[in-house]
Amino acid sequence: MFSKLIQSPALVRVAPFAVFIALTFLQDHCGEAARYWIYLGKTLAGAAMLVALWKHIQEAEWRLSWEAVTVGVAVFAMWVGLDDLLARLGLPAYPKLKTSGTAWNPNEAFGAGSALAVFFILVRIAGSSLVVPFLEEIFFRSFVYRFIAGKDFLAIPLGKFLPLPFIVTSALFGFEHREWLAGILCGFAYQGLVIWKNRLGDAVTAHGITNLLLGLWVVWKGAWQFW
């Protein structure tokens, strides 16, 4: 099974994300307490698959650059401030997608300040900052973007701007999130960074910075709706 997986350039980029999404669906249908443990499980599973498949994904990397830091911080600011910006422009807040579960709030589920609440807050921040960026950037920016352009996706440079894949990939990424409009704009930013730098690692870093800042913001402000 594993040998067949690593022989497929598409599968090694799709499988970790697919497993993560499948567990995400399960997470919201197994009860309030179970969802937190399933999140821990899917984070560990995603990390394990990344480790196992790492050497088979040539572009999988982490790059620290001023461009990545700038984009990561800017996307965070956009994500939490978009509704306020629309209001200042005299526009209504855009409607958010409905989700099957309630907002992620370990304080409400396990008691504010309890050991389990703190543990699952840390799990969420770690998972979203260290694991999710690799899973999503490899899937969307490395695979989906180039596969839309052609089945022989490895032959297409990461840095090549392709209008249709750019729009479609960013839209798919956006609608994966409750805040779909912010997600689409976020997809534009990360995809643009990959094209600009002609590598995936900067987008992984930017994505990780965005999610880390968002996690800290959620806890600081009690803005659990972002989770």
Question: What is the pLDDT averaged over residues 80-84?
Answer: 96
Encode pLDDT of 142-195 as tens digits. 999 999 999 999 999 999 999 999 999 999 999 999 999 999 999 999 999 999
Inter-residue contact 40 to 173 (CB < 8 Å) = no
Burial of 172 (C-beta count, 10 Å sphere; 0-12/13-18/19+):
middle
Domain definitions of the chain by residue range:
61-226
Encode pLDDT of 42-57 as tens digits. 999 999 999 999 999 9
**How far apart, in whole angstroms, are the C-alpha atoms of residue 210 and residue 71?**
8
pLDDT on residue 44: 97
Task: Give the global pTM.
Answer: 0.94
pLDDT on residue 104: 86
